[in-house]
Amino acid sequence: MKILMINVVCGIRSTGRICTDLASALESEGHEVKIAYGREQVPAQYEKYAVKIGSDIDVKLHGVRARLTDGCGFGSKRATIKFIDWVKRYDPDVIHLHNIHGYYINLKVLFDYLRGCGKKIIWTLHDGWAFTGHSAFCDAVNCERWKTGCYKCPLIKEYPASYTDHSKANWRKKREFLTGVPDMMIVTPSEWLARLTKESFLKEYPVKVINNGIDTSQFYPIESDIKKTLGISDKKMLLGVATAWNDLKGWQDYLKLANMLDDCYQLVMVGLTKEQLSQLPDRIIGLERTNSIKELAELYSASFALLSLSYCENYPTVCLEARSCGTQVITYDAGGSAETAGSDGVVVAKGDLNGIIEAIDKLSAVAASDAVRDKSETTRQYLAEYYA
């Protein structure tokens, strides 16, 4: 069997790693797999799967169009036509879509092909961008305009940021382009996103929840001197982890929280840029993004709690990784975050920093007890759907 996956990246970040995990499992069973991607570099071990859509210049031009005209998903026409020609020659049995935003593929060209190709199609949604007129993070401001038609998007300056608001027209275009595809099913990692999808114009498709897993062979309780290295051996470490920090990820809330904490606690934030490091108050220890899973597991393991103060999440992996390392989670009730906190975790209303402080003070020192799903179980569920 031939499988083609389409995602913005290949082998990096959460969605790219999900694709390559699936590809490795499928290859081990004798299947042929390709991953079409649009941006960034592919780790050497995954180059055998990778098929580039368009060029870096195509991505930049698409990004400019999105910024000027709110046209994310409507650029890259020529690159997508060329890609579809390749798909026809490759002739896959299954096409598995992942993130199709990111300035690299044209929605109309792609779905015109999918609508008539006669292939089995699976589409994993990693956020709500597909059914909104602009934002991937509508839950951050509790916006539900996407149910009947977007307009005056309150998140127009957030990804995919634009100087102009065409959310009303975009919503109508997406409803036209993305519906009416035979033999397509939608997968979401969280019950929360499944519920939203069933309330959107994508409700014509069957929706299945397949929770993301993590590599539990790498994320487990590890003894280390990392607190000593950070100079906080006598403190209870509170950890925040993100690939990129901004206000939707809770950046301002972490800064405010640092000044509210008792001296026995130390807030540590991972994934900061050099500019953000220069802006940190003395009450926070900041670290740049780490590519070392071992270092990240050491940080999780040494922490008193993981704090997830994000205003928009689907099914945050950091919560799963922390729990797998024996650390309890305190999270805002954002998207599917509560689903990843486990029975030992604490869920607090978005923006309620006093509630976060109360949760920290009441948190027991007992390690997180719930088992965390390994990524192999996620892979098995996807494989079952490929053959269904």
Tokens of 14: 């959460």
As a whole number of Å, the end-to-end CA separation of the chain is: 13
The beta strands (E) that lie in the chain are given as 2-6, 32-37, 50-52, 94-97, 120-124, 184-188, 207-209, 236-241, 265-272, 284-288, 305-308, 329-332, 346-348
> How far is 332 from 185, CA to CA, in rounded Å?
30
Q: Distances in Å between the alpha carbon of 265 and those of 148, 258, 268, 276, 330?
A: 46, 9, 10, 21, 15
Per-10-residue mean pLDDT of the chain, 388 residues long, equals 97 91 92 96 97 97 98 98 98 97 98 97 97 95 96 96 98 98 97 98 98 94 96 96 93 96 96 94 93 93 97 94 95 97 94 97 74 91 88
> How far is 228 from 180, CA to CA, in rounded Å?
58
Q: Distances in Å between the alpha carbon of 144 and those of 196, 199, 302, 327, 338?
A: 9, 10, 39, 34, 20
Q: Indicate the Cα dihedral angle 225, 230, 232, 235, nearest 10°.
A: -80
Residue 325: the pLDDT is 96
Instruction: Domain 226-362: give its CATH code.
Output: 3.40.50.2000
Residue 183: the pLDDT is 92
* Domain 2-213+376-387 class, CATH top level: alpha beta
Could you check whether 2-213+376-387 and 226-362 share the same CATH topology?
Answer: yes
**Nearest C-alpha neighbor of 96 from the set 48, 42, 46, 34:** 34
**Nearest C-alpha neighbor of 311 from the set 143, 71, 93:** 143
> How far is 328 from 322, CA to CA, in rounded Å?
7
Side chain identity at residue 116, one-letter code: G
**Nearest C-alpha neighbor of 91 from the set 118, 124, 53, 123:** 118
Query: Could you give the 3-state DSSP secondary structure of residue 120?
Result: strand
Complete DSSP assignment for 228-239: HHHT-TTSEEEE
Residue-range domain boundaries for the chain: 2-213+376-387, 226-362
Query: Could you give the 3-state DSSP secondary structure of residue 317?
Result: helix
> How far is 200 from 168, CA to CA, in rounded Å?
15
Complete DSSP assignment for 175-206: HHHHS--TTEEEEESSHHHHHHHHTSGGGGS-
Residue 363: the pLDDT is 87
